[in-house]
């Protein structure tokens, strides 16, 4: 793959990834607490005006990020026969696997449930609380996975990890991400 194609693909991956993870953090750090604290009469307006646009950017930036990442992995590793033979390839593959799980959560759990909430709110029906709960739990999972995923993406070229380091980083950073999201959403919620 030519260097020009790789740099354009890397730029697309980078910008789409910032959009995806930025919106993930917005939903978990800002939106969840805002929806819980605003007047109940204002919620339907936000759900039907802000959420459709935000979730469109969220879900489409997710698949663009993953597709561009797969093109990069192919061009930088697989085309050269390095699937998981080097520490760098194993590190990026672990990050890619987390990204694919997160993409699955976006398209198969978060978005279908949020779409139901938006449509019910639009029609004046009462959304099933289970829809929001399922979306919230999948989103919290993605938030928690984003910590090690981002670390592995950066580490693959700057500080590739051995197998023990991959496992340790996954556990520590995943727990840190989970603690961060629960701190904002539950434990210290009134302060945020």
Predicted pLDDT at 97:
96
Predicted pLDDT at 7:
95
Residues 6+ apart with CB under 8 A from 70: 96
| Number of C-beta neighbours around residue 106 at 10 A | 27
Distances, alpha carbon 71 to alpha carbons 80, 133, 145, in Å: 13, 34, 22
Predicted pLDDT at 33:
86
How many Å apart are CA 166 and CA 19, to the nearest integer? 26
Which structure tokens are listed for 58? 């969220």
| Number of C-beta neighbours around residue 53 at 10 A | 9
> 39 burial class (0-12, 13-18, 19+ CB within 10 angstroms)?
exposed
Q: With contact defined as beta carbons under 8 Å apart, do 142 and 105 qualify?
A: yes
Predicted pLDDT at 159:
83
Cα-based torsion angle of the residue sequence 11, 13, 16, 17 in order, rounded to the nearest 10 degrees = -120
Q: How confident is the model at residue 182 (pLDDT cuts 50, 70, 90)?
A: confident
**pLDDT tens readout for residues 39-98:** 989 999 999 999 999 999 999 999 999 999 999 999 999 998 888 888 999 999 999 999
Predicted pLDDT at 156:
86
SS3 assignment for 85-136 = CCHHHHHHHHHHHHHHHHHHHHHHHHHHHHHHHHHHHHHCCCCCHHHHHHHH
What percentage of the chain exceeds 70 in pLDDT?
97
Predicted pLDDT at 162:
87
Which structure tokens are listed for 103? 């993409």
Please check the confidence at residue 132 and state whether its pLDDT lies above 70.
yes
pTM: 0.91
């Amino acid at each position: 793959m030519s260097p020009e194609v790789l740099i354009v693909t890397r730029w697309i991956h980078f910008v789409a990834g910032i959009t995806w993870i930025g919106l993930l953090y917005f939903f978990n750090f800002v939106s969840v607490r805002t929806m819980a604290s605003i007047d109940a009469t204002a919620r339907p307006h936000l759900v039907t005006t802000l959420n459709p646009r935000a979730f469109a950017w969220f879900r489409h930036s997710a698949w663009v990020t993953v597709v561009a990442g797969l093109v990069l992995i192919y061009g930088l590793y697989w085309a050269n026969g390095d699937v998981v033979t080097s520490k760098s390839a194993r590190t990026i593959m672990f990050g890619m696997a987390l990204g694919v799980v997160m993409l699955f959560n976006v398209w198969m759990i978060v978005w279908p449930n949020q779409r139901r909430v938006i449509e019910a709110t639009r029609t004046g029906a009462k959304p099933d609380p289970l829809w929001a709960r399922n979306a919230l739990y999948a989103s919290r999972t993605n938030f928690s996975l984003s910590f090690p995923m981002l670390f592995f993406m950066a580490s693959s070229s700057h500080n590739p990890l051995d197998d023990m380091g991959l496992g340790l980083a996954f556990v520590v950073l995943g727990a840190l991400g989970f603690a961060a999201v629960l701190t904002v959403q539950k434990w210290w919620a009134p302060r945020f």
